[in-house]
Amino acid sequence: MAEQLQGIEAEDGGIVAAGDIPGAVTAGRLRYADGATQVFTSDGRTTYSERGGDSAGEWSVDGDGRFCSFWPPSYRACYTLRWIVEDRRIVGLAFTGLNDGVTFEGRYTVD
């Protein structure tokens, strides 16, 4: 388990607390069901990679404790983050869009 996740008591489907969001998203590369990957860095940057191309964006925790992302030039979205836990181990994150309710899951990869 990544150092950022040590000491976090999470249950599958439980909401990621605002204070745990930075550690949760920067704990490792996430791989999505379609094969795309995403890396979040502690300075608020993110890179989404799919089919050999990369997109650069930014992430933050807003004043209401929600995870939000910005993709230039103008796309902004906020999400509820939930833990994915298997065998009492955190293995990923589920992102649910606040505007559209769409959920996508990312699982931590071992690079």
The residue ranges of every structural domain in the chain are 3-108
Task: Indicate the pLDDT class of residue 111, thresholds 50, 70 and 90.
Answer: low
Task: Indicate the pLDDT class of residue 5, thresholds 50, 70 and 90.
Answer: confident
The pTM for the full model equals 0.91
Say which CATH topology domain 3-108 has: Lipocalin (2.40.128)
Instruction: For residue range 69-89, list pLDDT tens digits in order.
Output: 999 999 999 999 999 999 989
d(CA 77, CA 8): 26
Residue 62: Cβ-neighbour burial (10 angstroms; 0-12, 13-18, 19+): exposed
Cα–Cα distances (Å) from 23 to 34, 42, 69, 73, 75, in that order, read: 24, 8, 16, 26, 24
53-61/45-50 β-pairing: antiparallel
Query: Does the structure show a pLDDT above 60 at 99?
Result: yes
Query: Does the structure show a pLDDT above 60 at 1?
Result: no
**What average pLDDT is seen over the chain?**
93
Cα–Cα distances (Å) from 96 to 4, 27, 104, 106, 109, in that order, read: 22, 19, 7, 11, 20
Q: Which residue has the tokens 């050999």?
A: 52
